[in-house]
């Protein structure tokens, strides 16, 4: 989860985005572009559990309406899957409105933009040509800076601001791309003046980061807010008073050429039913109970009257 942040120069070049900036060059990836049959929608996902779960929910919702779907999950970080979307290797994937806005805006999101309505309006202005977003869900999954209760108590940490005087003593862990993202180390330095002793490249809000935090290998972890590990391990999420992390409502990002009333109707129906609470509970079935993602997605769609 999550999950799920960034301005990327390589995307501006590779994707030929007229209004986009960037923080790092996208890496080459074999996305299998052009292999889907005509009329088939290729659904992609990022490389973390929540993104794959949402992509599977989208896929099954479309199939229930008679749409042919090809799955191409676990592509990688945003730098990679945006490239795949732009070159037509994939047609659709779940995104997070605030993180995507920051990715496509030079220097991060516009000042003063943080609530879901304003984020969506700003996002629509910077989308890559030939793409669009559909209706966003109430469900939200934010990046967080999270610490153990012991670390919070030792350094009196309640907010990200509180890190400033002690960050030089602390190690932070996150996905490798986080080192170059505005909603990562760059934004923490610019917005909060926070610079850590060490950055450890782990995974995107996933089990490597959580385990490293619990084992004391890092002091601060970038963990997605819907991750059940936060509650299970009584971790402390630091408040973000300066709104480095914007509204992060889940939203379908799709190539305009792949959209039609049937497609948008199916995906908007998913967004209408998706809440932070039911997403968190559903994700726990995958992450904690180790249930099959496709079965969990089918269960969610059935419970919400979409199958």
SS3 123: helix
Q: Residue 26: is its pLDDT beyond 60? A: no
- Per CATH, the number for 143-237 is 3.40.190.120
Enumerate the β-bridge partners of residue 71.
43
Closest CA to 232 of 276, 289, 274: 289
48 sits in the region (left: phi over 0; alpha: psi -120 to 50; else beta) called beta
Residues 259-280 have pLDDT tens digits of 999 999 999 999 999 999 999 9
Closest CA to 253 of 75, 108, 55: 55
Q: Residue 5: is its pLDDT beyond 50? A: no
Q: For 9-140+246-303, which CATH superfamily applies?
A: Periplasmic binding protein-like II (3.40.190.10)
**Cα 167 to Cα 142, 189, 198, distances in angstroms:** 21, 11, 9
Residues 274-300 have pLDDT tens digits of 999 999 999 999 998 999 999 999 999
In the chain, CATH 3.40.190.120 covers: 143-237
Q: Residue 83: is its pLDDT beyond 70? A: yes
The pTM for the full model equals: 0.76
CA 220 to centroid of chain Cα atoms? 19
In the chain, CATH 3.40.190.10 covers: 9-140+246-303
Mean pLDDT of 233-250: 92
| Residue 36: pLDDT band with limits 50, 70, 90 | low
Mean pLDDT of 64-71: 98
Q: What's the rounded Cα separation, in Å, for the pair 190 and 32?
A: 38
Give the model's pLDDT for residue 191: 92
Give the model's pLDDT for residue 183: 82
Give the phi and the psi of residue 297 in degrees, each rounded to 5. -60, -45
Q: What's the rounded Cα separation, in Å, for the pair 307 and 300?
A: 9
Give the model's pLDDT for residue 107: 73
Mean pLDDT of 88-116: 88
220 and 157 Cβ atoms separated by less than 8 Å: no
Closest CA to 145 of 155, 159, 135: 159
Mean pLDDT of 90-96: 97
What's the chain's average pLDDT?
A: 87
Residues 141-178 have pLDDT tens digits of 988 999 999 999 999 999 999 999 999 999 999 999 89
């Amino acid at each position: 989860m999550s999950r799920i942040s960034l301005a990327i120069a390589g995307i501006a070049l590779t994707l030929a985005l007229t209004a986009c900036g960037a923080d790092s060059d996208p890496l080459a990836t074999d996305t299998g572009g052009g292999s889907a049959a005509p009329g088939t929608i290729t659904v992609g996902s990022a490389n973390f559990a929540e993104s794959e779960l949402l992509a599977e929910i989208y896929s099954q919702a479309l199939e229930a309406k008679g749409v042919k779907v090809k799955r191409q999950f676990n592509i990688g970080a945003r730098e990679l899957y945006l490239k795949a979307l732009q070159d037509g290797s994939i047609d659709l994937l779940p995104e997070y409105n605030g993180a995507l806005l920051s990715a496509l805006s030079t220097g991060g999101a516009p000042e003063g933009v943080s609530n879901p309505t304003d984020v969506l309006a700003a996002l629509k202005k910077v989308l890559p040509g030939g793409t669009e977003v559909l209706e966003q869900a109430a469900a939200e999954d934010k990046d967080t800076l999270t610490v153990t209760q012991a670390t919070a108590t030792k350094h009196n940490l309640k907010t990200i601001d509180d890190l400033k005087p002690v960050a030089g003593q602390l190690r932070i862990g996150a996905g490798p791309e986080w080192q170059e993202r505005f909603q990562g180390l760059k934004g923490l330095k610019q917005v909060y003046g926070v610079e850590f002793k060490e950055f450890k490249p782990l995974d995107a809000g996933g089990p490597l980061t959580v385990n490293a935090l619990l084992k004391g290998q890092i002091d601060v972890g970038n963990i997605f807010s819907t991750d059940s590990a936060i509650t299970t391990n009584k971790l402390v999420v630091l408040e973000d008073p300066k709104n480095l992390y914007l509204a992060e409502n889940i939203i379908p990002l799709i190539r305009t050429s792949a959209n039609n009333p049937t497609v948008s109707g199916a995906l908007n129906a998913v967004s209408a039913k998706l809440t932070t609470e039911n997403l968190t509970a559903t994700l726990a079935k995958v992450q904690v109970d180790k249930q099959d993602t496709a079965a969990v997605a089918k269960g969610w769609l059935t419970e919400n009257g979409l199958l």
